[in-house]
Homo-oligomer: A and B are copies of this chain.
């Protein structure tokens, strides 16, 4: 039986990135796309708790079926498993995201939220992001790494609780692929305070990332800036095991 490949994203069913990804892997298995009906950037691992969800079939092209839902990326994975697929998928892919998901930003990423969900339910999962926010982004630089990663994961699986976060740089000559850790850091000057047409204040998210990882350390942020495609293995286990002895001091 051909591998069953489930694909979702956080840019929504109409994004170029998800269609590119589906077409790239259609030679490796049967593909089912279940994606949000509109963009859900910054949705992290959010789930829809207090509202009902809707699920619609959009189209079928060759061995690729497209569905959309009214939910988040994680909702899409859950709904696909429970309401669309007739068997367990062999792999879950998320993306290709329009824009990077490197460093600590993975915490907010709906693209990676879907990949964490895959890891939780024990299905090998990979998030792909291109460092270009444009709706018209050219995803060609992602071709090779998609083939390489998906073939490897279909053959070898991934360790328990682990999913992969793949970022592809733009505007540079690609030097190769590196497996590394995520950069640590934070976002700063995050809001513009403005006044609406009725004289009421509002805040709009903006800001920039400050990388606090030591200079020269092989993090995704650093390697992307050097022109490498980065692959960070990520975990859905949040326990900070090494901090347990410190915290025991409070007992």
Contacts and interface: CB of A to CB of B under 8 A. Distances in A.
A91 to B, nearest CB: 13
A243 B45 contact: no
Interface in A111-166: 112-113, 116-117, 120-122, 148-149, 152-153, 156, 158-162, 164-165
A104 B191 CA distance: 31
A228 to B, nearest CB: 11
Nearest to A212: B122
Report copies per complex. Answer: 2
A249 B156 contact: yes
A104 B240 contact: no
A88 to B, nearest CB: 12
Interface of A: 39, 41-50, 52-55, 74, 78-79, 82-83, 104, 106-108, 112-113, 116-117, 120-122, 148-149, 152-153, 156, 158-162, 164-165, 177, 179-182, 184, 186-187, 189-191, 193-194, 196, 200-205, 231-244, 246-251
Contact of A107 (B39, B83, B148, B236): B236
5 contacts: A53-B202, A104-B120, A122-B186, A162-B240, A165-B238
